[in-house]
Copies of this chain bind each other. A is one copy, B any other.
Amino acid sequence: MIAPSTTREALLEAAADHLQRVGWASFSFRDLATVVGIRAPSIHHHFPTKGDLGVALVAWMRQRRATHEANLMESFPDPRDRLLALGDLIADHICAQHQSCPIYALQAEFPVLPEAVQQEVSAWIEDAISGLTRWLTEGRARGSLRFPGEPADHALVVWSVLQQGTQLTRTRPGTDFRVLVRQLVAGMTP
């Protein structure tokens, strides 16, 4: 929050990376320590418990997600273009390395997460879905997006595809995330 320690950020980066690859339960402080270049117990200096690290990690990712959302809204006035651009962003950052959204892993292992981490994950999801809801509302008003029912309900559909789609690129070789997003958007084009 205050002091942006380099080691601290390196630990968060490493944790995010491991989370995407092997999930929450399968990475240890030793794994992170090896990557960062310090000894495992030293991590406790930055994050007293693994739960504390988890909370900091998701809070950090919430911040980054908000930044990405703001950037996309500035660069793409039309919500339809914006959705496609988000698809490209995810394809480049996640699918290119055959990883998945870190939040995906945290959802799969939800009950084993410390309660504070669970709350932060739920908050991330709420952020993302309410962001998409605004995009859909705007797109319908502009006439560039068409879908039945309420924007809030359809946002769940859109979000589900984006979330599960990242996973498909690694469990189903040959799947193209961009094609998936375009198929989704095609179904919402007037």
Contact = CB atoms under 8 A, between A and B. Distances in A.
- Number of copies of this protein chain within its complex: 2
Interface in A161-190: 161, 163-165, 167-168, 170-172, 175, 179-180, 183-184, 186-189
A183 B157 contact: yes
DSSP class of A's interface residues: helix, strand, loop or mixed? helix
Contacts of A168: 125, 156, 160
Nearest to A98: B111
A121 interface: yes
A26 interface: yes
Interface stretch (A41-49, A69-77, A100-108): A100-108
Contacts of A179: 153
Given A157-B180, A160-B164, A104 B108 contact: yes
A156 B183 contact: yes
Interface residues on A, range: 35 or more
Contacts of A89: none
Interface of A: 21-26, 100, 104-105, 107-112, 118, 121-122, 125-126, 129, 147-149, 153-154, 156-157, 159-161, 163-165, 167-168, 170-172, 175, 179-180, 183-184, 186-189
8 contacts: A107-B167, A108-B109, A125-B171, A156-B175, A156-B180, A157-B180, A157-B187, A160-B180
